[in-house]
Amino acid sequence: MNSTPPGPTTFGQLPPSSWPGERLGLPRTGSHSVGRVGRRIGALVIDWAIAVALTCVLFGYTLLNYDGFVVLAIFVLLQALQLAVFGWSAGHRLVGLRLITITGGRVGLWRPVVRSLLLGLAVPALVWDSDQRGFHDKIAGTVLIRR
């Protein structure tokens, strides 16, 4: 009789990855590897700056005096639209990232909408797993990879 316990039966029981994306079948580095923190933050800063600028143009605010909730709404809307249409936002494109499903396909419409709404809450983006996927990516079944 074999006394070895059975292996993990669900994704939540898998051991941590040796590198981000290992459990997803992604390479350690280079093209198609998981987008690292620096690139993700760079993309976020670029996308937020675009949302601020667009808010100022559309609503007559100044760069020093604008409504943060309006900027957040514009940011979430831009994220959802760009990710659904292109698979990347302007910030992602500039830093060399794109969004795919964990199975490698196109993201469609619902995934970017759910992901963007959760990203607007900020907390899901601060909770990561060993694959460097935020809670918003886990719920949407997506991963940001290098182009």
Question: Mind listing the pLDDT tens digit of every residue in the chain (147 residues)?
Answer: 455 444 444 555 667 778 999 988 999 999 999 999 999 999 999 999 999 999 999 999 998 888 999 999 999 999 999 999 999 999 999 999 999 999 887 899 999 999 999 999 987 778 888 888 888 999 999 999 999
Burial 84-102 (b: 16+ CB within 10 A, else e): beebbbbbbbebebbbbeb
pLDDT of residue 9: 46
pLDDT at residue number 11: 53
Count of C-beta atoms within a 10 Å radius of residue 71 = 20
Strand partners, 98: 145
pTM: 0.85
